[in-house]
Amino acid sequence: MRHKALCLLLIPILLATACSRLTFVRPKGKMGQLAGQEEVEDYAVRDSPEVKRRQAVHTILARSMQRLQAGEFEAAGKEARAALKLDPGSADALTLLAVSEDRQGRLQSAGELYRRAADVAPRDGSTQNNYGTWLCANGFAAESLVWFDRAVQAPGYATPAAALANAGSCALKAGQVERASRDLRQSLAMDSANAVSLEAMAELEFRRQQYLSARAFVERRLAAGPASPAVLKLASQIEERLGDKAAASRYVQRIRAEFPDAQDVNSGGNAGP
């Protein structure tokens, strides 16, 4: 079973991180001071070319994020490219362009851009996590783990639980069960409602034939965030193994009602041990 929640995790983390980092340069002066026209003009005169360049990059990247959030992926990419012309080493611009390319189906280009962002900002946990997420989502689960390790070890990284959740989920996909269990439990120790960790733990316990434990994790996962066809299917499979046909059928009905376009909703599936 593919961990589709992992693929979706990238965008919220990216946008939250970018919004906190792409701050505008504020004019000098005391807080609360009302700036008159002469003060604004005086500040503009004293702006150095480098300050103006940074401000222009920040403004363009803010527009790129707005376009991205509005689903205007091509326009978001154009803004990110304009920012890169002013600052070729901007990890934020590279990442936003990567997301734009990814959402337009240009996967190879997106992967190269995520890698470039990770290379130019090796001490930034978000760029390391984003490249690891791309690798895992595109068939390179084992290769992704080193990038999640770098994210967790990055100084000042604000969301290590998310990187550990990704690492555990991808370790499970790579068949590294012991590492998966370790990373997922560490993630849940930091964030007990992490949806990626809870779903991966439910699948891990299902594979181990620990069906009661799997049920507990999947119920916590469904309480932690919106359902997906994958997690509802897993929940149905768990109930099948526990002998509760009615509960299994209810989960299948939820898939059909909430996700009418979902494929392969039969409770039997192929996620068994």
Per-residue confidence (pLDDT) for residue 262, from 0 to 100: 86
182 is a domain residue? no
Separation of alpha carbons 251 and 264, rounded Å: 13
| CA distances from residue 243 to 212, 240, 247 in whole angstroms, order as listed | 11, 5, 9
118 is a domain residue? no
Q: What is the pLDDT of residues 196-225, one digit of tens each?
A: 999 999 999 999 999 999 999 999 999 999
256 is a domain residue? yes
170 is a domain residue? no
Q: What is the CATH number of the domain that holds 271?
A: 1.25.40
Which tokens sit at 256? 């059909």
- Domain with 203, as residue range(s), is 192-273
Separation of alpha carbons 102 and 109, rounded Å: 8
Per-residue confidence (pLDDT) for residue 265, from 0 to 100: 59
156 is a domain residue? no
Which tokens sit at 151? 């994210």
| CA distances from residue 260 to 218, 233, 256, 265, 269 in whole angstroms, order as listed | 21, 13, 5, 10, 17
Residue 143 has pLDDT above 60, yes or no: yes
Per-residue pLDDT band at 48 (split at 50, 70, 90): confident
Per-residue pLDDT band at 7 (split at 50, 70, 90): very low
133 is a domain residue? no
Separation of alpha carbons 65 and 112, rounded Å: 20
Separation of alpha carbons 196 and 173, rounded Å: 13
CA R_g for the chain: 22
Per-residue confidence (pLDDT) for residue 1, from 0 to 100: 38
More confident residue, 166 or 49: 166
Mean of the per-residue pLDDT values for the chain?
85
Percent of the chain exceeding pLDDT 90 equals 76
Per-residue pLDDT band at 46 (split at 50, 70, 90): low
Q: What is the signed CA dihedral for 254, 256, 261, 264, rounded to 10 degrees?
A: 100
Per-residue confidence (pLDDT) for residue 264, from 0 to 100: 67
Per-residue pLDDT band at 47 (split at 50, 70, 90): confident
Question: What number is the average pLDDT over the span 143-169?
Answer: 97
Comparing CA positions, the residue from 16, 22, 2 lying closest to residue 162 is 16
6 is a domain residue? no
Per-residue confidence (pLDDT) for residue 179, from 0 to 100: 98
Per-residue confidence (pLDDT) for residue 266, from 0 to 100: 60
Per-residue confidence (pLDDT) for residue 23, from 0 to 100: 23
More confident residue, 90 or 21: 90
Per-residue confidence (pLDDT) for residue 3, from 0 to 100: 40
Q: What is the pLDDT of residues 100-132, one digit of tens each?
A: 999 999 999 999 999 999 999 999 999 999 999
**How many domains is the chain built from?**
1
